[in-house]
Structure formats: C-alpha cells, structure tokens
Amino acid sequence: MVNTDPNHVHTYDAHGRMTCCSLEEKIDAKSGTPHIHTQEHAPDDEDGHDHSHGEKPAWIEYIPCIISFALLLTGILFEQVFHPTFFKDYFKLIWYIVAYVPVGKPVMIDAVKSISKGAFFSEFFLMTIATLGAFFIGEYSEGVAVMVFYSIGELFQSLAVKRAKRSIKALLDIRPDTVNVMRDGQLKTVSPSGVQVGEIIQVKSGEKVALDGELVSDSASFNTAALTGESKPDKKAKGETVLAGMINLQSVSDIQVTALYKDSKLSKILEMVQDATSRKSQTQLFISRLAKIYTPIVVFLAVGICLLPYLFVSDYQFSVWLYRALVFLVISCPCALVISIPLGYFGGIGLASRNGILFKGSNYLDVMTKIDTVVMDKTGTLTKGVFKVQEIVAEGIERDELLKLTASIESKSTHPIASAIVQHAGDLAKGTNVGQVEEIYGHGLKGTIDGKVVLAGNLKLLKKFNIAFDTEIEKIVETIVVVAVDGKYAGYITIADEIKEDAGQAIKELHSLGIRTVMLSGDKQSIVSKVAETLSVDNAYGDLLPENKVEKVQALKDQKRTLAFVGDGVNDAPVIALADAGIAMGGLGSDATIETADIVIQNDEPSKIVSAIKIGKITKKIVWQNIIMAMTVKVIVLVLGAGGIATLWEAVFADVGVALLAILNAVRIQRMKV
C-alpha cells in the first residue's frame, strides 16, 4: 500500500530512515532521475549516487527490507514447517515485532507527521491501522508481509527511476563538456563551468562554441542558422559577439568569454530536464484528484464492514469482521495506479531522452498522441542550414574542367561559399598551377589558373568585365557562382542549403500516421516549393515574416487542427508558443526557441518528430494497461474480501503484487525501440 497522492512517495535517508517527498524530490534524493549533475557537481558513480559529499552507498537503503524479509520468511517457516516449541505466544509476538519495526517504524513516523499537518487519510495512517489491526487479531505474519512487500515495491520504483536518470544523463553527456582556455600562456582543457568572464577560449574548426563571448581573432565565420533562421553563414570581425551554439566554420578562433557557463544554453537545457516531471498529464491529475476523494470513502467503508454487521448478523464476531475490514483496507489502496502512472510517464520521458528527445513534461506525451498536423520551418529543420553545391552547369567547357578551375581559384578564399565548392571538388583541383589571385570586393575573384584567366563570383563580376552571359540565369533563386575563362562565360555553380538525410523519410512516416505536413519559411517561394516537392510536403508557404507564420498557424488552429510546430531560430519562438506542441531543434536551436518549446530534439533529426509521436502513443498504451489491470484485480479481490473469501495474503497481492506488476510494465517503456 502506498501514497494516495501520485506524486507523494517515500525515500530513505543516509541512515535508512524513510522520508516523505514528491516524486521529483524522491527522484533527486535517491539519484533516480532528472536532477542531473552539471560540471559544477561531482559526477555520479555507477549506482547513480554522488559520493563526493560522504553519502552512503545505494545498498544501505536495502538493509531494512532485507532484515524484515529474512525474519518474516524464517517466522513463516517456523509456523508452517518446523514448528519449534519455543516459537509461540510472547516469543512469536516479539519475533514478528522485530521483523515489523525496520519497515514499519518509518511509516508510523510519517503517519504522525501527516496527521500533524492535517492529512488524516494518508496511506501511512491506513497502513498503520491495517498492520496493527492484523497484530491485534493475531495475524502477525500477514501484518509484517504488507509492510515488507510495500518496501519491495518502493525499491523497484527506485531502480526504475534510476534507469531513466541514466538515459537522460547519457543524452546530455553528448553536449560539449570541455573547452580550451588560455591560462598563463598555455592552452588548457577545462570544464566550461570553470571558465570565468574575461578569459580567452579557443574554438577549432567544426567545434561548437560553448560560451558566449566576443571574437578576439581578426575574423571568423560561424554557422548561425539556429540563431537567425537564415542559412547564410555569418562572418564575424574582431570585437563582434559570438553566441553559445554557433559552430566555427573555418580556422581556429579566439573568443573572450562574456557570460558564465550557468547562463549558457547547456545549463538551461539541464534545467529543463530537471523540471520535466513537474508538468503532469491529465491522467496523472485525474488520479490525484480521485485519490483525495477515494481514500476517505475507503476508510469509512472499512469501518462499516467491521461494525455494521453487528446489527444484522446473529453470530457476529468482532475479530472476524475486523479482519475482513483490514483485508478491504489493504486491497483498496490505489498504489498500483499512483506509482505506475507517474513512473510510466517518466519512463516515456526516459525513452525519449535515450532517443535524443527532451519532453519538458509528461503532459506533452499525451499531446503528441493527438497531433494531426505537423508544421515545420525549412531552414535548420528540414534542411541543414549550411552551404552545399547543388548544380554545376558548364558552357563551352567540360563540367569537370569548370569545377577544377573554380575550386582552384576559390581555394584562395576563406568565404564559406568558396569552402563549399572546394570541398565538393575534392582532389580534382590538386596539382593546378594557381597564379596571383585578386579579390574584387563585392564581386568575386580574379586569378590565373594553369595560364588561363579565371573570374569566379556573382553576376556583377561578369558585368564589371563586360562579359556576355545567358540572362536566364538571373532568374535562379539559389546562391550562384558564375565563371568566366579567358574573357568568355563558362557556366555557373549553384550553392544552396542541403536537405537533411532523414527529412524525406520523416515526411513519409508522418503521412503513414495520417498526419498532414505543412512547411513555413522566410525563404523565397520558389526555393520553398522546390524543397516541398522534393520531400512531398502537403503544403508549403514562403516569403513569410515571423508574424505571417503566426497567422498561418492560427488559421490551422481555427480549423480545429491539433498541431505541432517544429523550428530552430529565434523567429520561430512565437509560433512554437502558439502550437499545441512546440518542438525545437536543440542541436543548433536558439535559446529563445528552446526555452519556449515543449519538446527539444537534441540531434536536429526530423525523423525524431515521428519518434516523439510514437513514444507518446507507447506511453499512453502502457499507462492504460496498468490502469485496467489494477482496477480489474482490485474489484475482484475487494468483492472476495468483503465476503470473507480473500485473506490478507490475497490483499497483499491485489495491492503490492499488482503494483509490482504495474511497475515492471512501466519499466518496459524504457527498453522499447521506436
């Protein structure tokens, strides 16, 4: 029998004493879930406990239950099998009292505390009455058994939440947890939490900036798609602000820190995980409200079962009807529900975390089961937000020759577009003889490659040198690099944002679930339409300002659609707040978007949208399995108990046994694949 408040459970302190706390507090106190230690704290060990402050190891909390169970089992063997002459009367009573105290004393203490706070109908009070009543009528072993199996249920729950904690912690460990800082003229690798404001950190090419700061290097280029909502990389000059979450695209950059680690995006995500269980699902809230009404009714019914038969039964025996009342009292406690339902939802949060998804509350698991429309931003959500070569069109020259010449001259530039072309060319440009290269500001490059004069840049470059070209290319919407060789137009290379590898599969799976897909973007309609056609998105709208996105989402909500919006930039935050479920791409997502979102996808994969929906449905299915199982068994045994057929042993099974089965069923969630 356990607490009738689904978020109010027990834990044990360092001395093995049971204490009373909420599910979230219990999870933290027993190192069970989301209070994850950041770098400011010592890391947990394998058992999930932090021993850096002298805490006793996890096995300490098992001792009371082990002692009581051993004494109970020995007592039953004495009674039923060996029948020693000394095991009777007062010795037998003392034996079971000693067995009862390790697990029963903490419950009695909590019963007194609950009564002092006005909570007369707490599970502590009910268990104390039921077990002491069993002792009163001589059913010592059954009284001890109720407490022992209750404690076993608590231990199972503790193990379950520890598993969920490890899943979440493993997810967060993929975040940057070291930074290179310049100290005493040497570069040292330290935890971001140990870096002070004013210190210089060094970020290599391809690394994510872990702390906010100002650029010390003369210049650098960063991927800022997550912060701006635009795919074009941002070139920073010395003294300009660089934000946590940006990715260095080029050479090593020095940054002077302007904000502590605790104020960074990483710390905010940790806080989100810690608060994940504070938002309850409708099912949890219903069970909580039900328990407040249900428990007093059960107590009065038990009193009625004990006393009312005196008025109607000729051979009334108080001990017989008291026993039936105690059986009824033990059976009726809704522990299987109040333990397994929160644990089931938390298991769903743990499963999501293991798959790179952070749910900010169990209520959003329910919401995801009802989604019928998914609205997505383009840049950073369905596309990578980085430049990639899309098309190479040669005129009067071989395609490979065009790419070789262009890559050779672009290799002398540090611009991200130049880098994209060089990367695409690979080894093709190696061995070419590159002469002097001149950068024509705002236009492009001019140089000599293998004795040929090559121009590579925008259309203004060709116009500057009066080189004729096909005017149709002016209609191309993507970023374009035009090339001229020895004064003649030689073709062009288009550079565009690359579609994510799993974007097409994500749209396909959403359609298979009967979910409508919509794309909203600030990019040109022609680009948006092309991406939508490639991915088979149902509807796509471009040329949108942030307020236009809000209007589109509101129009869908006016159609009574239950929708999720997925985005990553600051400009997506208002729409995410409006949606039934706001989903942020957290790998590069802006702070504002991540804070506003209800769900954060850590690795930026669109396919995780489908996973989030499936996890919500899995969790709901398991929770309702537990509800149906618990209610069915309890109703059956309640009827048998009131009729004198069921004993306290059946009551223990109907209460603690079903609770254990429900816990094990809830634990299954964390092992499932999506």
Residue numbers annotated as active site: 377
Q: What is the maximal distance between C-alpha atoms in the chain?
A: 119
Q: Report residue 401 as tokens.
A: 């020759």
DSSP 8-state code for residue 79: I
Cβ-based neighbours of 100, under 8 Å, separated by 6 or more? 68, 131, 135, 143, 144, 147
Cα–Cα distances (Å) from 37 to 45, 338, 595, in that order, read 11, 28, 20
Half-sphere exposure of 59 (CA within 13 A, CB side): 2
Q: Any idea which residue has 């109607």 for tokens? A: 312
Task: Please return the burial class of 142, using the count of CB atoms within 10 Å of its CB with bins 0-12, 13-18 and 19+.
Answer: buried
Read off φ and ψ for residue 213, nearest 5 degrees.
-175, -170
Q: Any idea which residue has 């097409």 for tokens? A: 504
Residues 405-437 as b/e (b if ≥16 CB within 10 A, e otherwise) read bbbbbbbebebbbbbbbbebbeebbeeeebeeb
Q: Are 599 and 579 in contact (CB under 8 A)?
A: no
C-alpha angle 193/195/244, rounded to 5°?
75
Task: Please return the burial class of 25, using the count of CB atoms within 10 Å of its CB with bins 0-12, 13-18 and 19+.
Answer: middle
Task: Please return the burial class of 228, using the count of CB atoms within 10 Å of its CB with bins 0-12, 13-18 and 19+.
Answer: middle
Q: What is the full DSSP assignment across 88-105?
A: SHHHHHHHHHHHHHHHHH
CA-wise closest residue to 295 among 6, 614, 51: 6
CA-wise closest residue to 454 among 401, 406, 398, 403: 406
Q: Are 203 and 178 in contact (CB under 8 A)?
A: no
Read off φ and ψ for residue 279, nearest 5 degrees.
-100, 115
Strands 234-237 and 213-215 turn out to be: unpaired
Number of H helices, E strands in the chain: 23, 24
Q: Report residue 428 as tokens.
A: 């093709």
Instruction: Give dist(CA 615, CA 364) in Å, integer.
Output: 11
Instruction: Give dist(CA 105, CA 128) in Å, integer.
Output: 9
